[in-house]
Amino acid sequence: MTLDVVILAAGQGTRMRSTLPKVLHRLAGKPMVRHVIDTAAGLCAERTHVVVGHGAEKVREALADCRVHFALQAEQKGTGHAVAQALEGLGNGRVLVLYGDVPLIHRATLERLLEGVDDDHLGLLTVTLDDPGGYGRILRNAEGQAVAIVEHKDASESERAVRECNTGIMAMTADQLRRWLPRLSADNAQGEYYLTDIIAMAAAEGVRVVTAQPADPVEVEGVNNRAQMARLERAHQQAIAERLMAEGVALADPSRLDVRGRLTCGHDVEIDVGCVFEGDVELGEGVRIGPHCVIRDSHIGAESVIESHSVIEGAVIAGRATIGPFARLRPGSRLAVGAKVGNFVETKNVEVGEGSKINHLSYVGDARLGRGVNVGAGTITCNYDGANKHRTEIGDDAFIGSNSALVAPVSIGRGATVGAGSTVAKDVPDNALAVTRARQVSKADWPRPRKQDD
């Protein structure tokens, strides 16, 4: 049977106190609803429908690149009404209802829930809570069969004592929804069309309600405010940290790591506290990352060391490189084996050859450095003339003296030397020395000015 996933995302999220629609708030750097869409994609659903309402335009825009269908719920009249808005687009197989603000649901849990769903079996995900206040309660008959859900606000004292709760996540056939949703009534405490009322309809028709539970209750936790958001973020990060450790990564503190994307590590990678990884980051075997580094969309080769407070984006670093502390590698930085980029150095769109060093206080952009190049402290590639960017080429074994300005386009030959403090605007031939600073004058026994007595 085919599968349609319907993700409810029309609610306002008043308690977030935000102009951003709730489902667009980010968890691990990604809008909550995208986590749900990605999980649904893992189920190989034929179609995924997102029911939008509050901030519909913003949600559509934020998901423009997703392969999803949108259904508009102009007025929020309840979860049953919300699902009904997607009814038209459904196929003839199974339907799974998910929530844009319940981001941590696992694929494995959903697969278990979907297993037995057919014309005679409905799947309902429940969770048993110590403090079930606010949740819909699962009512079971004498045989232990789930036969109804009663919302907290409609529940009697004895029903409220039930601790088994509705997570909201359920699966059924499209036919059943077409049959049951039009029969929902809003005659209840909230004046809403409750999706939960289909459970009693199923039971009445002899459709068996098969319940499943998540491996971890955090999977079915929804987000209503920023505190819950932060709690889910930590839970998610903790799970990532545990997976990394299981794969052989040494984390100084698993509670002080943030991965906002995909982090792939070789064996014996060490990551100190406070690091943030964004996008796709790959760390080779034995890489050491010092405290408080931010690394985005980069590849760092085996045995490289990134010292503390370095910010690396869009870089490809070969093995045994040494970066930082306080280095900033911007997109297009490509470092060969054993290269060094030290403190307060910014690089951008630059190729740094094997064993070459830019150790202190420099800006090197739009350049290519050969092997064994030494760039002295305070060197600047003047790559921008106010209108266009120009390239700097530095040959193998060249030595750039401290505090030099290399005015691009310019090329420094192999084995060439630039004297400290030079402004180099003309090409330097191989093995030559270029010095552009004024000659030093020393005056013997020079009488220093003295303060006048008055």
* Using rule CB under 6 A, residue 358 touches ligand UD1: no
Q: Is 313 in the site for ligand UD1 (CB under 6 A)?
A: no
Q: Identify the active-site residue in 106, 152, 360, 390.
A: 360
Least Å distance between CB 90 and ligand UD1? 16
Helix (H, G, I), strand (E, B) or coil at 106: coil
Stretch that binds ligand UD1, among 37-45, 95-103, 355-363, 437-445 (CB under 6 A): 95-103
Nearest C-alpha neighbor of 351 from the set 377, 316, 397, 399 = 316
- The least distance separating ligand UD1 from the CB of residue 7, rounded to whole angstroms, comes to 9
Q: Does 11 bind ligand UD1 (CB under 6 A)?
A: yes
Q: Which pair of tokens denotes residue 301?
A: 């080769």
Query: Closest by alpha carbon to 397, among 438, 425, 421, 428?
Result: 428
Does 55 engage in binding with ligand UD1 (CB under 6 A)? no
Site stretch for ligand UD1 (CB under 6 A), options 94-102, 114-122, 255-263, 279-287: 94-102
Give the contact letters, 117-156, x = binds to ligand UD1 (CB under 6 A), - = no. ------------------xx------------x-x-----
Per-residue contact flags (x/-) with ligand UD1 for residues 382 to 421, judged by CB under 6 A: ----------------------------------------
Q: For this structure, is 309 an active site residue?
A: no
Whose structure tokens read 């952009």? 365
For residue 395, with 0-12 CB atoms within 10 Å meaning exposed, 13-18 middle and 19 or more buried, which class applies? buried
**From its phi and psi, is residue 60 left (phi > 0), alpha (psi between -120 and 50) or beta?**
alpha
99 or 277: whose CB is closer to ligand UD1?
99
For 48, counting Cβ atoms within 10 Å of its Cβ (0-12 exposed, 13-18 middle, 19+ buried), the class is: buried
Minimal distance in Å, beta carbon 174 to ligand UD1? 19
Q: What is the DSSP string of 15-62?
A: GG--SS-GGGSEETTEEHHHHHHHHHHTTT-SEEEEEEBTBHHHHHHH
Task: Give how far Cα 332 sits from Cα of 329, 335, 419, Å.
Answer: 8, 10, 28
Instruction: Give helix then strand counts, H and E, for the chain.
Output: 8, 36
Binding to ligand UD1 by CB under 6 A, coded x per residue (else -) over 158-197, reads -------xxxx-------------------------xxx-
Q: Which is nearer to ligand UD1, 184 or 352 (CB)?
A: 184
Give the total residue count for the chain: 454
Q: Rule CB under 6 A: is residue 10 a binding residue for ligand UD1?
A: yes
Residue 122 dihedral angles phi and psi, to the nearest 5°: -110, 140
Per CB under 6 A, which of residues 67..86 are in contact with ligand UD1? 73, 76-79, 81-82
Point out which span in 7-15, 58-66, 140-148, 315-323 binds ligand UD1 (CB under 6 A): 7-15
Which own/partner pairs from 277-284 qualify as long-range (CB within 8 Å, at least 24 positions apart)?
278/29, 284/319
What number of chain residues touch ligand UD1 (CB under 6 A)?
A: 27
- Contact (CB, 8 A) for 22 and 13: yes
Q: Of 168 and 370, which CB lies nearer to ligand UD1 in the complex structure? A: 168
Give how far the C-alpha of residue 452 lies from the chain's centroid of Cα atoms, to the nearest Å: 68
Give whichever of 8 and 361 is closer to ligand UD1, judged by the CB atom.
Answer: 8
* Virtual torsion, Cα 285, 288, 291, 294, nearest 10 deg: -50
Is residue 101 a contact point for ligand UD1 (CB under 6 A)?
Answer: yes
Active site residues: 360
Chain residues in the site for ligand UD1 (CB under 6 A): 8, 10-11, 51, 53, 73, 76-79, 81-82, 99-101, 135-136, 149, 151, 165-168, 194-196, 222
